[in-house]
Amino acid sequence: MIRNTIVLFLMMSLLSCAMTSDTEESQQPERIRDAENLLVRGVADYSQSDYLQAGIFFTRALHLYRSIDNPQGIVLSCINLAKTSLVTGDILRAEAFVDKAKSILHSSLLLQREHLINYLAIVDSSIKIEKMEYHAAKEILQPLLDTAYSKQSEINIAAVQNRLRIAIEEQASDAFVWMQSYSDLLQLSESPRLNQNARLLRFKAALNDNVEEQNQNYNMALNLYRQAAHRMGIAATLEEWAQQQYENQYYHAAANKLRRALFIRIELKDRRNSQAILVILQKIYRQSGNRAKEKQSVLWLEQLSSVEFAQWNNLLGDYNNYP
Amino acid sequence: MREKRLQVRTHYIHRIKYSTQERLVGSFVLLAIILLVWLLFSSGKSLINFEEHYLLYGQLETIQQIDENTEIIIGGLSAGRIQAVKITHDNHIIVVMEIPKRYKRLIRTDSIARLNAFDLGMINQSIIEISVGSPKQAILEDGHTIVITETASIKNLLAKFVPSVEALFATINRVNTLLSGIEQQKLEKTLNNIDSLVAAVDPAQIKSLLENLHFIINNAGDGIPVRINSIDKIVSAIDLEKLRQTTNNINLLIAAVNPDLISAAMANLHMTTNDIKVVIGQIKKGKGLVGRSIYDRKIEQNFVQTISHLSHATEQLDRLLSLLNKEMENMPGLLNKIEPLINEADKTIKATQKIWPISSAIEKKGNKKILISAEPLND
């Protein structure tokens, strides 16, 4: 009886051992796990539109990865930092991180190397678009566009999005073709995000000459972005819409949208786009004969150029002098 | 005899034919498989999966944590699941609900669908509750749309308190403005002057002044002449220099006070006194809780009783607090004892998580997102 119990017990132990699988996590050194957790937290903050906090986490991750000379981690941190810099309008910083990531990718054999190279191409093309180097951007995107329909990956969709943006910026005749491709890919995508649908509506508005339909598309895009609390999207839509209204000489409506967009850009600590908004605001006030507001816009331009980020929030509290 | 004993000891399994043995073992195995299958299909959710369903569309204004795990409750019964959430061209949110056909007769045209969203910190769950319709009403057929009303979430409820808090802040700001109108230095100076003025007054002289006044008042009725000597003393008791200084200080004090603020304060005071007047009038008439408690015997008794109960409750609370204090003193020791136990439990839980059936349900490390989505957001 006792012997049977012992045998049964041993069998159970053996079974438990067989079912127990040591996870990958416990095998990883603590430093790598810490750095990876920092990346995870940064990505979570980025998806919540908290780019400042995301940047802090990615910088800490980069330091940690550099301290253990981990090229995979350094590349991931650099790509994330490049994207974070890009959304906050710091193009030079974004470019520096892309160059760093490129040099490591070309000199080391990393996991998912091809995926990282493609990903980097998207970030690089975005930088080129911001710098209005459209020809270079198109060349970077071409290999990804060739496989867009066959692969239909997130990177391919992003490539078509950037290509469509170039076509719109260049006022090219093939803009409608690219918009159809983008729309088709979103339809084929398993779960298109709210902001991707909103982006499509913004593209439609930009390519539409009918003011009423344009307004409708912008309004729908704005609503979708608001549902997702997507700060970048809201600001960009307001800016584009305001630009259209400025061109159609609806100065009051355009100024109202630009002021709202300016608040978001300042909140995001985006110096470049904040300054761009203020330049248009200044033009609007000058054309509508509002001297006082025009002066305030100039004053704000000077302040945003000289004041440190930490003190920007003090500017927002000053409602009486808000441009 | 020996043969017979041996025959008795032999297990029945050895006495039956080989084919019968096989059949028996097979039937046990079959029974186990049948049991397993029965267990698999008998659970509620599995049954639902094999049932016939029909689709109902729910129209919503906002998505409040709705996903495929959102439960649908029909008349208290858990029934159906969310198949998809769609956004229409006119920006309405449509929820596609998959309902088992056996519940079809419960959902009628007068059924009310309500979305209960629990958004409390970590608990983010929504339930769609559909009330059972009247049998007299028509059944909602496949593909029909039902409007889902949304209950106020905790966040919305809290938002309702915001105006009250803002009003409170506005009041604090007004009080601050009122206080900032008073110049501290001038106030200090005035107070010092009042101090020195009070110190300058000789109590003996005041006393003699009052005696003289008393004498004057007493004798005034009889037409006796005022004692000029005493008035002289009064006049001589006043220090003219100090009197001038005091007048100056009073002037400064008046200048320091903002007339607008004072008039506003006076207006408020006037309103308050009016209110008090009304309240006192009500009380005198025996109206209101206070008035009735003064004039009504029964309320007075109740009031006294309540006070005694309150006192009793306070004593009990006091005792309770002293007990709680003692317990709290023991708390650090208790925590120290619990700590190793918690650590052990933590280890056990972590070890359990690695065992096969549980480990498969836990999210793999590879699912963590360490790279931002490729979608360009900079435009």
Q: What is the 3-state secondary structure (H, E, C) of A128-174?
A: HHHCCCHHHHHHHHHHHHHCHHHHCCHHHHHHHHHHHHHHHHCCCCC
Give mean pLDDT, residues B3-12. Answer: 60
Q: What pLDDT, on a 0 to 100 scale, did the predictor assign at position B121?
A: 46
Q: What pLDDT, on a 0 to 100 scale, did the predictor assign at position A142?
A: 92
pLDDT digits (tens, 9 = 90+) for B344-362: 887 788 777 777 666 666 6
Better pLDDT: B364 or A191? A191
Residue A2: pLDDT band with limits 50, 70, 90 = low
User: In this structure, are strands B53-60 and B113-120 parallel, antiparallel, or unpaired?
Assistant: unpaired
Q: By CA distance, what is B368's nearest residue in A?
A: A40
> Which CATH number goes with the domain that contains A68?
1.25.40.10
> How many separate domains does chain A show?
3
Give mean pLDDT, residues A93-117. Answer: 88
Query: What's the CA gap between B83 and A53, in Å, rounded?
Result: 36
Would the pLDDT of A241 be above 90?
yes
Q: What pLDDT, on a 0 to 100 scale, did the predictor assign at position B363?
A: 60
Q: What pLDDT, on a 0 to 100 scale, did the predictor assign at position B24?
A: 83
Based on the fold, state whether residues A290 and A234 are members of the same structural domain.
Answer: yes
Q: Any idea which of A255-269, B216-230, B352-366 has the lowest mean pLDDT?
A: B216-230
Answer yes or no: do A86 and B379 touch at CB < 8 A.
no
Q: Does residue A118 form part of some domain?
A: yes
Amino acid letter for position B27: S
Based on the fold, state whether residues A46 and A122 are members of the same structural domain.
Answer: no
Based on the fold, state whether residues A59 and A125 are members of the same structural domain.
Answer: no
Q: Which domain holds residue A289?
A: 230-323
Would the pLDDT of A31 be above 90?
no
Report yes or no: A278 and A300 within 8 Å, Cβ to Cβ: yes
Give ∠ CA B313-B315-B320 in degrees, rounded to 5. 90
Based on the fold, state whether residues A80 and A161 are members of the same structural domain.
Answer: no
User: In this structure, are strands B93-100 and B113-120 parallel, antiparallel, or unpaired?
Assistant: unpaired
Residues in A closer than 8 angstroms to B366, CB to CB, are: 24
pLDDT digits (tens, 9 = 90+) for A149-193: 777 788 889 999 999 999 999 988 889 999 999 998 888 877 667
Would the pLDDT of B335 be above 90?
no
Give mean pLDDT, residues A64-88. Answer: 92
Based on the fold, state whether residues A35 and A89 are members of the same structural domain.
Answer: yes
Q: What pLDDT, on a 0 to 100 scale, did the predictor assign at position B224?
A: 44
Would the pLDDT of B8 be above 70?
no
Distance from CA of A263 to the nearest CA of B (A): 17
Based on the fold, state whether residues A121 and A90 are members of the same structural domain.
Answer: no
Answer yes or no: do A161 and B63 touch at CB < 8 A.
no
Residues in B closer than 8 angstroms to A225, CB to CB, are: none
Based on the fold, state whether residues A161 and A235 are members of the same structural domain.
Answer: no
Query: What's the CA gap between A103 and A124, in Å, rounded?
Result: 13
Report CA-CA distances (Å) from B200 to B239, B242, B358: 8, 8, 90
Query: What's the CA gap between A215 and A222, in Å, rounded?
Result: 10
Report yes or no: A159 and A138 within 8 Å, Cβ to Cβ: no
pLDDT digits (tens, 9 = 90+) for B162-171: 777 777 777 7
Would the pLDDT of A99 be above 70?
yes
- Kindly state the tokens that stand for A274: 């904040």
pLDDT digits (tens, 9 = 90+) for B183-215: 666 667 767 766 766 666 667 777 776 777 776
Report yes or no: A301 and A275 within 8 Å, Cβ to Cβ: yes
Report CA-CA distances (Å) from B260 to B178, B187, B218, B267: 10, 18, 46, 10
Q: Does residue A183 form part of some domain?
A: yes
Give mean pLDDT, residues A108-119. Answer: 84
Q: What pLDDT, on a 0 to 100 scale, did the predictor assign at position B276?
A: 77
* B354: nearest CB among A21, A89, A158: A21
Answer yes or no: do B356 and A19 touch at CB < 8 A.
yes
Q: Any idea which of A21-30, A52-61, A291-300, B321-330 has the lowest mean pLDDT?
A: A21-30
Contacts of the segment B153-156: beta carbons below 8 A, 24+ positions apart: B153/B64, B153/B117, B153/B119, B154/B118, B154/B119, B154/B120, B155/B119
Based on the fold, state whether residues A134 and A164 are members of the same structural domain.
Answer: yes
Query: What's the CA gap between A312 and A300, in Å, rounded?
Result: 11
Q: By CA distance, what is A73's nearest residue in B?
A: B370
Touching check for A47 and chain B: CB below 8 Å? yes
Report yes or no: B72 and B82 within 8 Å, Cβ to Cβ: yes
Longest dimension (CA), chain A: 102
Q: Any idea which of A153-162, B20-29, B135-144, B193-202 has the lowest mean pLDDT?
A: B193-202
Q: What pLDDT, on a 0 to 100 scale, did the predictor assign at position B225?
A: 47
Q: Does residue A21 form part of some domain?
A: no
Answer yes or no: do B376 and A161 touch at CB < 8 A.
yes
Q: What pLDDT, on a 0 to 100 scale, did the predictor assign at position B1?
A: 47
- Kindly state the tokens that stand for A128: 């080129």
Helix (H) or strand (E) holding B328: helix B297-353
Q: What pLDDT, on a 0 to 100 scale, did the predictor assign at position A322?
A: 66
Q: What pLDDT, on a 0 to 100 scale, did the predictor assign at position A64?
A: 93
Would the pLDDT of B223 be above 50?
no
Distance from CA of A127 to the nearest CA of B (A): 9
User: Of B149, B74, B158, B370, whose CA–CA distance to A36 is shortest?
Assistant: B370
Query: What's the CA gap between B273 and B289, in Å, rounded?
Result: 20
Q: What pLDDT, on a 0 to 100 scale, did the predictor assign at position A79?
A: 94
Would the pLDDT of B46 be above 50?
yes
Residue B377: pLDDT band with limits 50, 70, 90 = confident
Helix (H) or strand (E) holding B358: helix B356-359
Report yes or no: A278 and A303 within 8 Å, Cβ to Cβ: no
Better pLDDT: B310 or B7? B310
| ipTM for the whole complex | 0.71
Answer yes or no: do A43 and B355 touch at CB < 8 A.
no
Based on the fold, state whether residues A244 and A183 are members of the same structural domain.
Answer: no
Backbone angles phi, psi at B95, to 5 degrees: -105, 125
Give mean pLDDT, residues B25-48. Answer: 79
Say how far residue B277 (Cα) sits from the centre of its chain.
37
Q: What pLDDT, on a 0 to 100 scale, did the predictor assign at position B48?
A: 56
Report yes or no: A241 and A253 within 8 Å, Cβ to Cβ: no
Q: Does residue A12 form part of some domain?
A: no
Touching check for A122 and chain B: CB below 8 Å? yes
Residue B226: pLDDT band with limits 50, 70, 90 = very low
Query: What's the CA gap between A14 and B256, in Å, rounded?
Result: 91
Q: Does residue A8 form part of some domain?
A: no
Report CA-CA distances (Å) from A102 to A95, A98, A139, B119, B372: 10, 6, 17, 44, 17
Secondary structure class of B362 (helix, strand, coil): coil
> What average pLDDT is seen over chain B?
74
Rg (CA), chain B: 45
B contact set with A (CB within 8 A): 62-63, 87, 91, 351, 354-357, 359, 365-366, 368-379
Q: Any idea which of A253-267, B28-42, B327-341 has the lowest mean pLDDT?
A: B327-341
* B372: nearest CB among A43, A89, A165: A43
Pick from A111, A134, A149: which residue ends a domain? A111
Q: Where are the beta strands (DSSP E) in B61-199?
A: 71-74, 77-87, 93-100, 113-120, 123-130, 145-150
Sorted by sequence, the CB contacts under 8 Å of residue B373 that are 6+ apart come out as A47, A154
Q: Report how far apart the first and last C-alpha atoms of chain A are (Å, whole number).
A: 90
Answer yes or no: do A36 and B368 touch at CB < 8 A.
yes
* B370: nearest CB among A23, A39, A196: A39
Query: What's the CA gap between A45 and A39, in Å, rounded?
Result: 10
CB burial of residue A283 (10 Å; 0-12, 13-18, 19+): middle
Residues in A closer than 8 angstroms to B359, CB to CB, are: 21, 23
Distance from CA of A199 to the nearest CA of B (A): 9
Question: What number of other Cβ atoms are within 10 A of residue B82's Cβ?
Answer: 19
Answer yes or no: do B370 and A16 touch at CB < 8 A.
no
Q: What pLDDT, on a 0 to 100 scale, did the predictor assign at position A257?
A: 93
Would the pLDDT of B129 be above 60?
yes
Based on the fold, state whether residues A78 and A144 are members of the same structural domain.
Answer: no
Query: What's the CA gap between B296 and B286, in Å, rounded?
Result: 8
Q: Which range, A198-207, B231-240, B347-356, has the best average confidence (pLDDT)? A: A198-207
- Kindly state the tokens that stand for A177: 């073709």
Q: What pLDDT, on a 0 to 100 scale, did the predictor assign at position A315?
A: 66
Q: Does residue A220 form part of some domain?
A: no
Q: CA torsion A233→A238→A240→A243, rounded to 10°?
A: -160
Give mean pLDDT, residues A300-318. Answer: 71
Based on the fold, state whether residues A94 and A122 are members of the same structural domain.
Answer: no
Report yes or no: B66 and B126 within 8 Å, Cβ to Cβ: yes
Sorted by sequence, the CB contacts under 8 Å of residue B84 that are 6+ apart come out as B95, B96
Would the pLDDT of A145 be above 80?
yes
Pick from A67, A95, A111: which residue ends a domain? A111
Report yes or no: B144 and B231 within 8 Å, Cβ to Cβ: no
Q: By CA distance, what is A125's nearest residue in B?
A: B376
Q: By CA distance, what is B369's nearest residue in A?
A: A40
Q: What pLDDT, on a 0 to 100 scale, did the predictor assign at position B146?
A: 87
Q: What pLDDT, on a 0 to 100 scale, did the predictor assign at position B202?
A: 67
Q: Which range, A117-126, A181-190, B39-48, has the best average confidence (pLDDT)? A: A117-126
Touching check for A169 and chain B: CB below 8 Å? no
Pick from A111, A139, A165: which residue ends a domain? A111
Touching check for A224 and chain B: CB below 8 Å? yes
Strand partners, B73: B78, B129
Would the pLDDT of A313 be above 90?
no
Better pLDDT: A243 or B118? A243
DSSP string, A81-133: HHHHHHHTT-HHHHHHHHHHHHHHHHHS--TTHHHHHHHHHHHHHHHHHHTT-
